[in-house]
Amino acid sequence: MKPFSLLVKPASWRCNLRCRYCFYLKKEGVYDSAKSPLYMSDEVLKTMLEKFMRIDLPVHGIGWQGGEPTLMGLDFFKRAVHYQQKFGSSGKVVSNGLQTNGTLLDDTWCRFLKEYNFLVGLSIDGPPEIHDINRLTPDGRGSHRLVMRGLEALQRNQVEFNVLTLVNQSNQDHPLLIYNYLKELGVNYQQYIECVEFGPDGELSPFAVDPIKWGEFLCAIFDEWYEHDVRRISIRLFDSILTRLVDNYTNVCAMGSDCRQYFVVEHNGDVYPCDFFVEPELRLGNIMQDNWEKLAGAESYREFGKRKQQWNEECTTCQYLMLCAGCCPKNRPSRGKDPTRLSVLCPGWKIFYQHALPRLQLLAEFIRKERIQAMPVAPPPIPKRGGSTKIGRNAPCPCGSGKKYKKCCGA
């Protein structure tokens, strides 16, 4: 069975903030809180984890997201860890991630997160004058002050975390301001993702990032990072590109050619193929009645996965296809229903890759050489009679770079 992870929405779309650009708040049209409470029951939690831990996987990865998952309270997550331990056999590895707005985090929460090695994703759009434009409380106040309180609790308790910044119309012109602000906060793991939403007319929403600005935003941060912070700051996009170049492996679904990377589990056990596509017609089943093997083998799931590589004809001749893979279907007009439509971000991606790829390829080559130099040294071969084991300066380098030894490892 192909490895997969879970993205769990224990509180559905419920949140204590009302961010202007949030796409998941719209799921109120799918799950009506007036008809039933939007929280994951202990029965659903137990069944979901029992069936998941039964699957033979290299790592049992679970991302807890929302809405705002901390609305479930700390006791819910204590029970989740208990069930993971109860149903997981010896030697199994569980990786828990928590994506949160951070406003409810305190020392009690963070001691628990530290004890059980949760990786926390914290949403920050920039300094207060930028963050507070879109990330608002229900009564219209900015949330930055509350988020900083949560960030300080994470740092105080030494919880591993990264910051997720949604690049949108309000912050797209301030890449270095945001990057340096996060550095000043001590954030060494940063993730930038695009805000792409379409209105009823099929046009980009007013708060969505401009495609050209998206490329320019990434270029500005890349230049600063490459010049000063390659060994100090982790940018997820850059790390993922290097992983693709060095190991020929995709560790983010947007770079892959098949969208079947994980399952979304809603509060009531409903299962979907992606959190951007939690739509009634794409519901795969319910974990209370179905098992993961059945869901993974569903024809509708296979068809959903195929959408990714049904890219536009223009993509087939693009030099960046191995990295972009046609971009995420959610960024293609018609939201993937016609996957052959070109991603709206295509111009921005081309700007970025044209600008940054040559230097990323140099970094990839450097990483390969580092790995070779770190390998255990084999015993020297026995010289042939009358011969020598010395490598000629003009001979091909044994590292496999294709360069002459004197201009590579022998330099």
Distance CA 13, CA 30 (A): 10
Q: Report the first-to-last Cα separation within the chain, whole angstroms.
A: 47
Return the structure tokens found at 228: 């000063």
Question: What DSSP string runs through 290-319?
Answer: --HHHHHT-HHHHHHHHGGG---GGGGG-T
Residue with token string 């179905």: 290
Return the structure tokens found at 284: 């795969």
Strand partners, 136: 142
Return the closest-CA partner of residue 330 out of 273, 250, 291: 273
Instruction: Calculate the alpha carbon distances from 300 to 5, 76, 260, 339 in Å.
Output: 18, 32, 11, 15
Distance CA 100, CA 376 (A): 42
Which amino acid appears at position 235 of this protein? I
275 as an active site residue: the answer is yes
Tallying the residues shown for the chain, one arrives at 411
* Residue 248, C-beta contacts closer than 8 angstroms, at least 6 positions apart: none
Instruction: Calculate the alpha carbon distances from 246 to 126, 242, 378 in Å.
Output: 32, 6, 23
In 10 A of CB 332, how many CB atoms? 26
Q: What is the DSSP letter of 338?
A: S
Q: Which residues of 177-198 are buried (b: 16+ CB within 10 A; e: fewer)?
A: ebbebbbeeebebbbbbbbbbb
Q: Which of 125, 132, 210, 275 is catalytic?
A: 275
Q: Which positions are catalytic?
A: 275
